[in-house]
Amino acid sequence: MPTLTSCIFENRSFTGAANCNSVNFPANGWAWVTWGFSDRRASLARVRQDSDIVIALTPVLDTAANRSLVDANLPSGARRITGIRAGMVPYSETWGGRNQPARHPAWRVLVDLSFRVDIDLPWYCFAGGNDTKATIHYYLFVRLNAAGTLVATVDHWEWNRTEGAGLCGGEVASRLNAGVPNGVGPLQTALTNAVAPFSSFNFGDIYFLPGDGRTSGVDEVADVRNEAAIILIR
């Protein structure tokens, strides 16, 4: 029995919070979804088949091995304070989209793999505390090649410092700029290994959904950049 999944997003750019509702409906029948939100700006709806393959991203990517991988490549004085989060984001909403818009179509959706870090600050920073915090992003381009095989590559990286660093903004930036790119190679290796089991399958299409991609009930998602699923169509 097919499923209608209807998602509404906080922002027109298909970012922010989202709510998805999935209902089964009979062939040639109707699906019924009602919403009570006034602060939603965009929606997506999709009829899904039972044969679609759902891969919730965070459970797949937030593994002990991947945590060790990112921890081993953190900048000096930084430690991860969240798990690995994996969601969806249009290219136009990333640093790459704002600075090199020709690299991808603006509305191409990438995987946003991110985590937050705490960074120690030494005495001379006068930051009003002994630390600051930043969010590190690795953007992953997941797609199908001409043979229908799943391919995943690290497209670019970005960090955002979310708290003050006093006089040490430059020093912290230098540390992050030196450290974050070191994660690209190991992460690419991990990604290649993660999609290897799918290499013997061919798929017809790929799309993303907020949340875990469930096929029934409501899925409340606080931020689609932190939680999404990939759907593969056989």
Q: Which is nearer to other proteins, 33 or 42 (CB)?
A: 42
Distance CA 83, CA 172 (A): 22
Q: Does 105 bind other proteins (CB under 8 A)?
A: yes
Distance CA 117, CA 134 (A): 5
Calculate Rg over the CA atoms of the chain. 19
Q: Does 119 bind other proteins (CB under 8 A)?
A: no
Q: Does 234 bind other proteins (CB under 8 A)?
A: no
Q: Does 26 bind other proteins (CB under 8 A)?
A: no
Q: Does 124 bind other proteins (CB under 8 A)?
A: yes
Looking at beta carbons, which pairs linking 179-182 to residues 24 or more positions away fall under 8 Å? 179/73, 179/74, 179/75, 179/76, 179/78, 180/73, 180/75, 180/136, 181/157, 182/73
Binding pattern to other proteins, positions 163-192, x when CB under 8 A?
A: -xxxxxxxxxxx-xx--xx--x--------
Distance CA 202, CA 146 (A): 10
Q: Which of 1, 72, 106, 218 binds other proteins (CB under 8 A)?
A: 106
Q: Which helix (H) or strand (E) holds 172?
A: helix 169-179
Binding pattern to other proteins, positions 130-169, x when CB under 8 A?
A: -----------xxxxxxxx--x-xxxxxxxxxx-xxxxxx
Q: Which is nearer to other proteins, 176 or 190 (CB)?
A: 176
Q: Does 216 bind other proteins (CB under 8 A)?
A: no
Q: Total number of residues binding other proteins (CB under 8 A)?
A: 64
Range 54-73, binding other proteins (CB under 8 A): none
Distance CA 4, CA 49 (A): 9
Q: Does 126 bind other proteins (CB under 8 A)?
A: yes
Alpha carbon 84 to its chain's center: 10
Q: Which of 35, 41, 59, 68 binds other proteins (CB under 8 A)?
A: 41
Order of strands across the sheet that contains 228-233: 53-56, 228-233, 205-210
Contact 9, 42 (CB under 8 A): yes
Chain positions contacting other proteins, by CB under 8 A = 12, 14, 39, 41-42, 44, 88, 90, 95-96, 99-100, 103-109, 122-124, 126, 141-148, 151, 153-162, 164-174, 176-177, 180-181, 184, 203-208
